[in-house]
A and B are shown apart, each in its own frame.
Chain A
Amino acid sequence: MMHFNVRAAAVAAALVSISSLAQAQTVKLALIDPQSGLMAPVGINQLNSWRYIADLANQKNWAGGPKFEIVGFDNKLSPQESLNALKQAIDQGIRYILQGNGSSVALALQDAVQKHNERNPGKEIIFLNYAAVDPDMTNSKCTYWHFRLDANADMKMEALTTYLAKDKNIKNVYLLNQNYSFGQAVAKAAKEYLARKRPDIKIVGEDLHPLAQLKDFAPYVAKMKAAGTDTVITGNWGSDLALLIKAAKDAGLNANFYTYYAATTGVPTAMGAAGEDKVKYVGYWNANNEKFVGGDVVEGYQKKYKDDYYTMATYTGIAMLAKAFKETKSTDPVKVAAALEGMKVQSLNGEVEMRKTDHQALQPLYIAKWVKVNGKDVKYDQEKTGYGWKTEALLPTYIATQPTSCVMQRPK
């Protein structure tokens, strides 16, 4: 009898160790983003970007053992659908959540992840936010399990206005943004920072419009024109930016566009030649950077998916997770979260630090301008338009770094 028990225990122990070994080998990451609807082209591009970088990490064994697998969940850009997707992911035993499109969605997920982790000790999940940039998420609403890989809206505005302030021809600025937490944050930061850096600049108009619903931006352009606008600052993304620039071109609005997301899917095609020299974007990376760092990724991605790689946060994200797995010799989110705090990795834009106080990534920022491809400093075009992004300025990390009001509640 005794003999039998020992044997059974040994078998059970062997089984357990096999299953834990299998778990350690593949780590699933749930990507909760739109894969249908108006913003689907952006969401699909980013799903592919995560997959591409995960494959790269697996081939080169970044994590020293564990492999990455990306599982896509379609949230239709809705916070409600996202919570369902989160539940599904949790039911499948996934402990890492990736999301980026829409701060409205990110805020809902951040809150749900926090609650889940409080109620289910031992089953914690980590939320890697790679593109939702509402500043609140790393300030008043900061949580321990949320890590932001992108620069937040305030940081980008800091960089953008620092650059913009040098252009003395800019006198009349118009702010057009999407009417939700992110768009409002952009408008607010633009007003504050411009007042600080260039008090002589006049805000000649300010509008908020609904997210992903408008087709005809001509009325807004007429309003800009009537207000004597020479520069437009906008946080619009997806079709909201593409159509705005198209309408501005048609009405002959001779203004500069300072954007956050002109390099995202759909916008380059809509701009074409019309955006030349006029459209600029601020972001954490540009494919046409001084040494073309990441060029191999751009080319490999183009070959595999016939699309442009621009969501560089995917690289930073996988690099950070891999480093944490390696350092802790574990894929347990509790240990990984602790390792991510204050972590520094070498990404495609240089050193990126995950600030410990608020889980906001600190990194250099780029300002780039839409110009014809010339094979020299502008090698890669976008969406086969023959136009690409020329690096106008590389702003070192300290310029955009913002203080935080976050009081982090760490689990005991």
Chain B
Amino acid sequence: MEFFVISLLNGVSYGLLLFMLSSGLTLIFSMMGVLNFAHASFYMLGAYFAYSLGLQVGFFPALLLAPVLVGLVGALVERYGLRTVHKYGHVPELLFTFGLAYLIEESVKVVWGLPAVPFRVPAFLDGSLFTLYSTSFPKLRGFMMLVALLMLLAVYLLLTRTRIGLVIQASLSHPQTVEALGHNVPRVFMLVFGGGCALAGLAGVIGGVAFITEPSMAASVGPIVFVVAVVGGMGSLAGAFLASILIGVLQTFAIALNWSLAGLFGTLGIAVSEQTPLYSVWKLQLSEVAPVLPYVLLVLMLIFRPKGLLGTRAD
């Protein structure tokens, strides 16, 4: 029971981090149709900015300032990079963000160096939030969950309850009309791109302090972000939320289970031993293939339900 509850908590909190990470990507894609390959790089920038700012002003101001800075960088990238590439269509945009990811990674290496930076958890968040049976649940993970939920709430309210949110939504489906009504649509796009990057930056602050802040942290989360976006349904915030939690819990529990096909055959009364052909396949444990499972899910989803869990595009 202890194991189940702790694993569930681990899974959900990891899922929530994934959500923070991918919500920006989904937003940008749904609003602008740009598949941002550099999204994970903004996540990394968030971590590094927060590390450097944290040394000056402390962790909590950095938690707020770093995403704002990342958002600014994102807005500048949109204004002076993407916007000029935009008129050539989506493929050049894709290539642009692809190149940008490398640029950001190399810049980070030049500025902060190759080894991991000592981004430490502030004393306030160090320690355990509560103890379940005998396992302590770290405050930092609780904080991670709280920030993700607050973020979800804020983005939801912003998009549905505010004027700017309505303009954003309208620019998505009817840009000409919105423009005719006197709104500056390119500026709205710039806001959205900057905002999406800021969300990635926020995830970066949390992810950097919870795991490790080093130049390859972007490359290591890059692929999983796309899995979340595709499984949830391209452009669906709610879908991204569902998919993140699903992947987080799936991966956590897969690691926990030592199931294998050999074991399954065993319970069915078929003996499998080292002499059996393809033994190396049968003896593979679920825990060993756990890291691949999200990608299995990605492939299956694309085959059987290409629009994703809650996607609206039927293609």
**Residues of chain A at the chain B interface (Cβ within 8 Å):** 37-38, 40-41, 44-45, 179, 207-210, 213-216, 218-220, 222-223, 225-226, 239, 242-243, 246, 250-252, 265-266, 269-270, 272, 307, 383-385
Contact = CB atoms under 8 A, between A and B. Distances in A.
B219 A218 contact: no
Contacts of B291: 209-210, 213-214
B269 interface: no
Given A179-B288, A223-B256, A226-B3, A218 B115 contact: no
Contacts of A218: 10, 14, 141, 252
Contacts of B138: 250-251
Contacts of B252: 218-219, 222
B120 interface: yes
B288 A207 contact: yes
B114 interface: yes
Nearest to A41: B115
Given A37-B219, A223-B256, A383-B118, 10 more contacts: A41-B114, A207-B288, A210-B292, A216-B14, A216-B211, A222-B252, A242-B116, A269-B117, A383-B115, A384-B118
Interface stretch (B90-98, B128-136, B297-305): B128-136
Given A250-B138, A270-B116, A215 B220 contact: yes
B77 interface: no
Contacts of B2: 225-226
A243 B211 contact: yes
Contacts of B135: 222, 225, 251-252
22 contacts: A37-B216, A38-B216, A38-B220, A44-B114, A207-B287, A209-B290, A210-B292, A213-B220, A214-B291, A216-B10, A216-B211, A222-B10, A223-B256, A225-B3, A226-B3, A250-B141, A251-B135, A252-B135, A252-B136, A265-B115, A269-B116, A384-B118
B72 interface: no
Contacts of B11: 219
Nearest to A267: B116
A261 to B, nearest CB: 15
A86 B136 CA distance: 49
Nearest to A270: B212
Contact of B7 (A207, A222, A265): A222
Contacts of B292: 210
Given A41-B116, A222-B3, A223-B256, A209 B211 contact: no
Interface string B211-222: 110111001110
A307 B251 contact: no
Nearest to A306: B113
Given A246-B212, A251-B138, A219 B288 contact: no
B31 interface: no
Contact of B128 (A214, A215, A243, A252): A252
A242 to B, nearest CB: 6
Contacts, number: 109
Interface in B48-77: none
A220 B288 CA distance: 11
A250 B114 contact: no
Given A222-B3, A222-B135, A40 B215 contact: yes
A394 B137 CA distance: 38
Interface residues of B, number: 41
A219 B138 CA distance: 14
A223 B255 contact: yes
B contact face: mostly helix, strand, loop, or mixed: helix
Nearest to B252: A219
B140 interface: yes
B238 interface: no
Nearest to A40: B114
B70 to A, nearest CB: 20
A241 to B, nearest CB: 11
Contact of A215 (B3, B137, B211): B211
Interface in B246-262: 251-253, 255-256
A266 B10 contact: no
Contact of B219 (A38, A214, A243, A384): A38
B288 A208 contact: yes
Contact of B288 (A209, A214, A223): A209
B256 A222 contact: yes
B6 interface: yes
B212 A242 contact: yes
Interface string B261-304: 00000000000000000000000000110111000000000000
A172 B56 CA distance: 45
Interface string B141-169: 10000000000000000000000000000
A220 B220 contact: no
Interface string B2-21: 11001100110010000000
Nearest to A205: B258
Report which residue of A38, A222, A266, A384 has the largest number of chain B beta carbons within 10 angstroms of its beta carbon: A222
Nearest to A208: B288
A40 B255 contact: no
A272 B120 contact: yes
A115 B255 CA distance: 41
A226 to B, nearest CB: 4
Contacts of A219: 7, 10-11, 251-253, 255-256, 290
A384 to B, nearest CB: 8
B212 A40 contact: no
Given A207-B287, A209-B291, A222-B256, A266 B115 contact: yes
Interface in B95-133: 114-118, 120, 128, 131
Given A226-B2, A250-B141, A252-B136, A266 B288 contact: no
